[in-house]
Structure 1
Amino acid sequence: MNKTSWILTFIIVAGAVMGWMYYSRSTGQPSAETTPHNLVEVVRTSLQTKVSETGTIMPSQTIEIKSQFSGEVAQLFVTAGQEVQKDQVLAIIRQESSQARQVAQLRASISEERLNVDTAHREWVRAESLFKKGFIPQKELELSHRDYQQSLVRLELAERQLLLALGGNKELFERYRDGSASKTRPEEFQVRSPSQGTVLEVLVHTGEIITSGTATFGGGTILMRIADLSHMVVKAKINEVNIPRVSVGQSVDIRLDALPEKLFTGRVMAIAAQGVKENNLVTYEVSIAIKNAHSDLKPMLTANIDIETTRLENVLTVPLEVLRVKKGDDVVDVLVEGQPQTRKVRVAFRTDTQAIITQGLQEHDQVVVPSFKTEEAGR
């Protein structure tokens, strides 16, 4: 055999080998009859549905501390994070100079009106004596009595103006009225804690001028905020789609990013009556009381909540991964006599992992779990 024949033979053999390899690749995959399917069985079970959201840990009640008087912050006795008791002195406010001048003027006005009352009273008593002796007519007696009544009204008005200038503080008003308060220097007022709690933040500094919480339109300067950290809640914004499923009293599982190893529980205690629209999304604030409060709970911690909503009993379920969408409908592949058949189903509800089926499947049906290859072939 010459050299040309050897070359020709080699080309023929190589072509045959390559053809056989190509044929094996194209036909070597197992057929639909021999392909093993990953199956799941349709079962009846009970499912606990839930609404999941992210919220924020907050005290159940926060108190804003304000002063009844305008003036200068003379002293601060607490700092952020400090625990305080009821009636504990938090700060001292030194009376503002303009208010001190106003109070001085009102005190002078009250003193003047008291003199007027004394004078009018003496004139009325004198007029009564003269009338009884027949020296003056009754009309003059009545005029004297009217002057006395008007002087009492003017005194009461001056005292009311002083009480308003003092922010309604009756104790201090009594001190001014009976003359025990200082007339030569501004008063200093104590700001006390209305309840036991922890100082969340102090918003003023020593020497700062503040406005009264009762004498100004804007509500006055907030000195600090206090809260009882033993009663914490979660505030969460629930989407309008899920809010109909949430109701007061439902159990809640709470997990914190800061304490991933701990599970807290709680109950829905309040649902906002009105939603808030932000970026075309309507949400409703839901307040959740935490049952097993812990000292590690701090305001503003992020909380992941699962609100247990409806418990569904005796329902047909399949894993979500068996569902496909075909022409806008939910479908599954059911194994019938060894062959997968596509069947349209109606999904009533979805959880994170399961779908509840109301039409299209029966209990114990064998459903094919789609694989990547079958999905590619279906395309």
Structure 2
Amino acid sequence: MKHFLALAALALAFSTVQSRADPYAAAAPGLVEPLGEERQIASQVIGIIDKVLVEENDAVAANQPIAIIVNGEQAARVAATRAQLAEAQAQLEKLLNGARPEERREAKALLEQLDAELQLAQLDYDRKKPLRASGAASQAALDQSSSALGSLKMRRTAMAERVAVIEAGARVEDIAAARAVVERLKAETTFAEAQLEKFTIRSPIAGTLLRRQRNAGEAVTNIDPTPIAIVGDLSRLRVRAEVDETDIGRIAVGQRVEVTADAYPGKKFGGTVARIAQRLGAKAVQTGRPSEKVDMKVLQAMIDLDPEVRLPVGLRIDVGFVAPQAARR
């Protein structure tokens, strides 16, 4: 019994020394990601790629065009709606401005001319009427003079109404109808332009084109969105680590970590825990090691790598969460 207790005490002492020598409170596998995660760019329309404007590893700005989808038909719709809008705006402007000064002067001159002709016709009729009564003029001559007088009176009335309309300007309801047409065509033009814009595939962020997945001539669809490229912000790298549920009590936001990778033997890269998830989930990062447990629950931790660290995106790495006492040393 004494021998057993001695062995237990020795084992406890050894484990205590070993834990003190271990600088890591916990360890976890992870993957290198760009800041803000990778962004997969897909098409919003069905069509054929006309051209791809960037290559892999190219730097791209936010909202920069990445690819163009064949858009001749939609471009024609935009041109048609713009033309209709311009015509409607011209009609409205014409109603608002009324007749031109030249049209006003012309209408008044015609009215004055008709007044003069009407005066002459009235004089002719007044002269022939007593002559007919005395038998000096025929009935036909009087009828002809009366007809000409009546015709001029009607023409003069019509011209006077035309002058009144020109002077009064457009009716309120006509202007309202013209404005409604302009607003409708503005909306149609805006919609057509928005649809045309969807044929230009743009980068949602500033970053680097990590992968080009489609080429000119290939078909794309928005039903099951077709990925065209992947973009990421490489100005700062992050690691998405998967911490075993038995170790989650040993990690904290702000904790320092050391990152190692099989691709860089003997090298360690520093970082800091930036965020810890609040929900456990299934394991996604597979190391391929024989001792790996694949059915365990894990908690994701986002780690900001130090600014000078440059690693390939998607690289599988191992994360050691530095124990507080090791950090103090």
Check whether the contact 2:66–2:203 (CA below 8 A) recurs between aligned residues. Answer: no
Separation in 2, partners of 1:90, 1:103? 20
Check whether the contact 1:64–1:226 (CA below 8 A) recurs between aligned residues. Answer: yes
> Counterpart of 1:3?
none
> Are 1:303 and 2:279 counterparts?
no
With over 3 angstroms needed to count, the CA separation of the structure-2 counterparts of 1:222 and 1:145, relative to structure 1, is farther
Check whether the contact 1:49–1:308 (CA below 8 A) recurs between aligned residues. Answer: yes
Q: What value does the CA root-mean-square deviation take over the aligned residues? A: 4.5
Q: Deviations over 1:158-187 (max 9, x none)?
A: 223222322288xx9xxxxxxxxxxxxxxx
> Are 1:160 and 2:160 counterparts?
no
> Counterpart of 1:373?
none
Check whether the contact 2:242–2:301 (CA below 8 A) recurs between aligned residues. Answer: yes
> Are 1:51 and 2:65 counterparts?
no
Equivalent in 60, 68, 83 of residue 58 of structure 2: 83
Q: Deviations over 1:207-247 (max 9, x none)?
A: 23446xxxx787x6543222233421111122333323322
Amino acid at match of 1:199: L
Separation in 1, partners of 2:212, 2:325? 47
Higher relative contact order, structure no. (Cα contacts within 8 Å, ≥ 6 residues apart): 2
Identity in percent: 22
> Counterpart of 1:228?
233
With over 3 angstroms needed to count, the CA separation of the structure-2 counterparts of 1:149 and 1:70, relative to structure 1, is farther
> Counterpart of 2:77?
102
> Counterpart of 2:271?
266
- Write 1 or 2 for the structure with the bigger share of helix: 2
Q: Deviations over 1:331-359 (max 9, x none)?
A: xxxxxxxxxxxxxxxxxxxxxxxxxxxxx
Amino acid at match of 1:155: V
Name the TM-score, length of structure 2 as normaliser: 0.57
Gaps of 5+ in 2: 105-163, 284-293
Q: Deviations over 1:99-157 (max 9, x none)?
A: 2343244234324422442354256999xx9xxxxx69xxx98x922431342233133
> Counterpart of 1:204?
214
Separation in 1, partners of 2:245, 2:99? 75
Amino acid at match of 1:283: V
1:257 Cα deviation from its structure 2 partner:
1.4
Separation in 1, partners of 2:227, 2:42? 5
Q: Deviations over 1:289-334 (max 9, x none)?
A: 1116444x1111111111135549xxxxxxxxxxxxxxxxxxxxxx
Separation in 2, partners of 1:286, 1:228? 19
Separation in 1, partners of 2:86, 2:186? 10
**1:13-92 correspondence runs (5 A):** 40=10, 42=13, 47=20, 50-61=25-36, 62-65=38-41, 72-80=48-56, 82-84=57-59, 86=61, 91=66
With over 3 angstroms needed to count, the CA separation of the structure-2 counterparts of 1:309 and 1:289, relative to structure 1, is same
1:284 Cα deviation from its structure 2 partner:
2.3
**1:1-379 correspondence runs (5 A):** 40=10, 42=13, 47=20, 50-61=25-36, 62-65=38-41, 72-80=48-56, 82-84=57-59, 86=61, 91=66, 93=68, 95-122=70-97, 144-167=171-194, 197-210=207-220, 221-277=226-282, 281-291=296-306, 293-295=308-310, 297-309=311-323, 311=325
With over 3 angstroms needed to count, the CA separation of the structure-2 counterparts of 1:125 and 1:291, relative to structure 1, is same
Separation in 2, partners of 1:122, 1:39? 104
